Structure 1
């Protein structure tokens, strides 16, 4: 039976395209640059950062809109039902076989459709702008690794998903959300140890100056730091970054080698302090807890959407997967402001605590300026764009926060 296009889907699509239209408007018409930006950046840096950001935002938005439009057409044009019948015919009615073949068909179609965007944003433009240090063959190797990992996890996930649909037709959303919540916790242990080393090499930091910084800051923060690693980011990019990962014994601070090579010691110290501040404030645990909470809400909503779209059946058909993809594609975009707001709040808190640890506010300000200049980020994004999609506060807002911290100390 053809999935019903009901008021729930129409409402979801209205919100999605409303946000998408606003996002596109502010990409095309970002408004004037804040005069304060000229205190820290040249006109060339400002224009370059805005142009780079505009192109990347347009590509991101194009991918999301394309996915939603194609899935809507696919589901309500009858193609989704047709593919279900074809997979059931090919697999001779096998429940799991038809579900798996359905998943593989959609995965391959969207992989092919996304490839031009992936190549353009992931290689061509990064090379053109001088950020990428990869050869085309190395980029292909990374692309194939990512695709293989995604396909392997996807196959396991879709088979488990349809197994749960079959055995718990009324409570499947609760079972799926519970298992995914366990995965959200487990991946914090697994990812740094298994997945990340597939793409990069990680070595303990050996620089005595950096190790002294770690010792000093960890003592001030009251955090026993087990591991500070350097990642060979320079094999792919000129950009500098750092991140924290893991829970329990697998927790790590990871520094890009580009950060250690291209930034002065006081700014490296500011980065270390920022990452320790995330640890001290328990941001990983808070992030996982919020993700688990939202996980149950989203799967509960999906249950309502699917039950009102597909007539009650003893078995959910393979095109349930297409509905699931559409739901999460739209909702992930719509929920971006919530996710971004939570992330920005944690980043502001980490900025505040980091300068308390270092006592060096000017170095923290210089770090923000250098990161934005070298990464060619938009120094004065539209307020809507920042609210909707920025995981970190924009550079001028971060500088304001640091200056307020200075004023408070005085």
Structure 2
């Protein structure tokens, strides 16, 4: 009996550290007060501007879908889409190449039709909220570069998707999903090498204590750290940012120069720890899986809705679902479905971001730096949304959620944790 009691006491003693950690290693540290001290850094006109910008984005989800339906819809009853198909058929002899040429024509026409809306959402609105660093001419050049990329990608994508539709009349939605995910995977693989350098210059991060700290964090988690890149994003935007890009041999973790120049070393370390979390936790592959599920559902819906709508509107000049002239219809339906899927997309992404936040706190061990970075990010993200609002629209945890997480981590993991008076230095 004594042995049993002794074993029980030893087991209870072993649990005490875990229990203490769960309750907070520093019972005198007030998480609520520490969180509020950071949240109060963003007040008055700055808070109002941030809230207005982000809440306006909720309406953009609706208006993006409306504009897409209007633009794509205009190409159908006018017969313009059918005429583009006819032109493609006249220019190429091989039937399987027709969708590719149609895709080029469609991309050019839709770019011009969407351009006024793109100018408003991508340039005018960003400038109104003091987030834009580019002149209109420089911004337009970047849009033309993206058009060039889109022409190549859409020519290949249209060719592949319509080949699948012709070959698999009933199950094209399943095979088409595999093709779409294959294109996305190739894009992720080639993006850092061929696409991103078209828009930004990537240089090695300067040697010094901060680079050494980031390299040490990477090596501690078996992350390749031969190259740490800095992008000259300040020529385009005032946002701070970092990202994980690429797949396999092209994967890399990069930060933009705004992050390097506007924030403290602890903030940079916290953000880079977060990005390392995406790498270690395999979020790119997980998000590909969740995205594939969404594409599968959308393609299935298209396979059921599009043939019926085409049959009901012979004046469109669309022969059947395998006719590339029906692409505007498929894209209009997709635009509506993507808008309706906003809570799904937001939640899937937000969960991965939250996991990376926890990893970054453990990796960088800089909770105050993480909290300060969360406030800076709230310059263009609403800081304190309601729970339903955050669930529906936030693809990252809100600033308030992130600050509270960091202060709870500080209480649980920093011996003798004390309150600080936060500031937004730099």
- The answer on 1:322 being equivalent to 2:322 is no
State the 1:73 CA deviation.
Answer: 6.7
Q: Which position in structure 2 is the counterpart of 1:345?
A: 351
For residues 207 and 363 of structure 1, the distance between their equivalents in structure 2, rounded to whole angstroms, comes to: 21
Alpha-carbon contact 2:71-2:114 (below 8 Å) kept: no
Question: Which ranges of structure 1 fall in alignment gaps of 5 or more residues?
Answer: 1-33
State the 1:136 CA deviation.
Answer: 2.4
State the 1:371 CA deviation.
Answer: 2.7
For residues 206 and 75 of structure 2, the distance between their equivalents in structure 1, rounded to whole angstroms, comes to: 54
Q: Which position in structure 1 is the counterpart of 2:385?
A: 381
Q: Which position in structure 2 is the counterpart of 1:395?
A: 399
Alpha-carbon contact 1:204-1:229 (below 8 Å) kept: yes
State the 1:334 CA deviation.
Answer: 1.3
For residues 284 and 271 of structure 1, the distance between their equivalents in structure 2, rounded to whole angstroms, comes to: 17
Q: Which position in structure 2 is the counterpart of 1:8?
A: none
Alpha-carbon contact 1:37-1:380 (below 8 Å) kept: no
Q: What is the Cα-based RMSD across aligned positions, in Å?
A: 3.1
Greater shift after overlay, 143-152 or 303-312?
Answer: 303-312
SS of structure 1 residue aligned to 2:324: coil
The CA deviation string for residues 260-306 of structure 1, in whole angstroms up to 9 with x for no partner, is 11111111111111111111211112112222343333323322333
Aligned length, in residue pairs = 372
Q: Which position in structure 1 is the counterpart of 2:271?
A: 271
TM-score (norm 1): 0.80
Distance 1:362 1:37, change over 3 A: closer
Q: Which position in structure 2 is the counterpart of 1:406?
A: 410
Distance 1:68 1:231, change over 3 A: same
Q: Which position in structure 1 is the counterpart of 2:18?
A: none
Distance 1:86 1:298, change over 3 A: closer
Distance 1:169 1:380, change over 3 A: same
Distance 1:400 1:141, change over 3 A: same
TM-score (norm 2): 0.77
State the 1:355 CA deviation.
Answer: 1.2
State the 1:213 CA deviation.
Answer: 1.1
For residues 103 and 170 of structure 1, the distance between their equivalents in structure 2, rounded to whole angstroms, comes to: 23
For residues 221 and 83 of structure 1, the distance between their equivalents in structure 2, rounded to whole angstroms, comes to: 52
State the 1:359 CA deviation.
Answer: 2.1
State the 1:39 CA deviation.
Answer: 2.6
Q: Which position in structure 2 is the counterpart of 1:51?
A: 52
State the 1:408 CA deviation.
Answer: 3.8
Question: Which ranges of structure 2 fall in alignment gaps of 5 or more residues?
Answer: 1-34, 312-317, 415-426
Q: Which position in structure 2 is the counterpart of 1:3?
A: none
State the 1:99 CA deviation.
Answer: 4.7
The CA deviation string for residues 28-58 of structure 1, in whole angstroms up to 9 with x for no partner, is xxxxxx9998633221221111222244443
Distance 1:198 1:207, change over 3 A: same
Larger Rg: 2
Map residues 208-219 of structure 1 onto 2, 5 A cutoff: 208-219=208-219
Q: Which position in structure 1 is the counterpart of 2:239?
A: 239
For residues 82 and 185 of structure 2, the distance between their equivalents in structure 1, rounded to whole angstroms, comes to: 34
Q: Which position in structure 2 is the counterpart of 1:13?
A: none
